[in-house]
Structure 1
Amino acid sequence: MRFLSTLAFIVLLSACSSVIEGTSQEIVVNTVPEGANCALEREGQIIGRVDPTPGGITIEKTKHDLNIICSKDGYQEATFFNKSDVAGATVGNIILGGGIGWIIDSASGADNKYTTPVNITMVPLE
């Protein structure tokens, strides 16, 4: 019985990042000036848009980085590289849940996070 209780406890904690961090994240994009159209691109595919800025969009987290490409009439196109980083709950998950928890969170994207808010200054055309 004690073994089953311990096993149940480990299973419940095994997806710590999934529970604490979740598998999706809102990315807020601010531009100077406001009113830009920004595409979020991952692995060459547009996964969403913030139009107009400022605004936010909820995306699924993965290990793949994002490029945020903003355009506005009268301004040069601006790009922001948003690196997929390790979520804070991942370390605790590895310690408490061991390899099982990390595998679950890695597969779901819960062990990743992106920078937010993103602040982009656009340069006027000459």
Structure 2
Amino acid sequence: MAVALSGCATVMNGTKVDYSSDTKPGGATVTFTDGSQCTTPCTLEFKRKNDQRADITLPGYKPTYVLIQSKLGGGSFGNILLGGGIGAVVDGTNGASNRLYPRPLIVQLAPEGSDQEPMLLDKNGKVVMPVRQHNDSVRVDVAKSIGADLAGLNRSGQVSGSPAQ
């Protein structure tokens, strides 16, 4: 049975996921760590196991970035509970049991010259938290895979002075 269940998340989810990005207002350019780029609203395909940084720009609005964290999902726990240690290893290695957070990526941009800050929105358009607060909560973890500079950390592990942290 364990062999039959090995890689369950790989079979059910695959190793890639459609990742939607949007901004309020729309029409912003989003450039991701892997070099892919799109104009909002847009959808790209990403590997589930890879953390990313999304740099967002739109003339008239403050540039910002959002750190996208690959987090372990529930699929690996099912493998372990059902005796699928092999499946847990397979899914853990290829990232099939991971989820990207936030997903979808929806950002309310802040106008240039204002004291507003960019905000993360949920799929219903409600404010979740400031982008800065989200980035601060995942920065150290994401830095392990994308590097301290891209995650907004300086050499001493402190938040660097980059825009819209």
Give your verdict on TM over 0.5: yes
Partner of 2:73: 87
Query: Structure 2, unaligned stretches of length 5 or more?
Result: 114-165
How far did residue 65 of structure 1 move? Answer: 2.1
How far did residue 58 of structure 1 move? Answer: 0.6
What is the letter of the counterpart of residue 26 of structure 2? E
Tell me if structure 2 keeps the 8 A contact 1:21–1:89: no
How far did residue 97 of structure 1 move? Answer: 4.0
Partner of 2:97: 111
Cα distance per residue 1:4-40 (max 9 Å; x no partner): xxxxx32121111101221001110110110001012
Work out which of the two has the higher radius of gyration on C-alpha atoms and give 1 or 2: 1
1:50-89 equivalence runs, <5 A: 51-62=38-49, 64-89=50-75
How far did residue 122 of structure 1 move? Answer: 1.1
TM-score by length of 2: 0.63
Higher relative contact order (CA 8 A, sep 6+): 1
Query: Structure 1, unaligned stretches of length 5 or more?
Result: 1-8
How far did residue 57 of structure 1 move? Answer: 0.4
How far did residue 47 of structure 1 move? Answer: 4.0
State the aligned residue count.
Answer: 112
Question: Taking every aligned residue pair, what percent have the same amino acid on both sides?
Answer: 29
Q: Runs (4+) of structure 1 moved beyond 3 Å?
A: none
Q: Distance in 2 between matches of 1:25 and 1:13?
A: 21
Tell me if structure 2 keeps the 8 A contact 1:15–1:97: no
Task: Provide the secondary structure at the position in 2 that maps to 1:114.
Answer: strand
Partner of 1:48: 36
Residue number among 25, 28, 45 corresponding to 2:17 in the alignment? 25
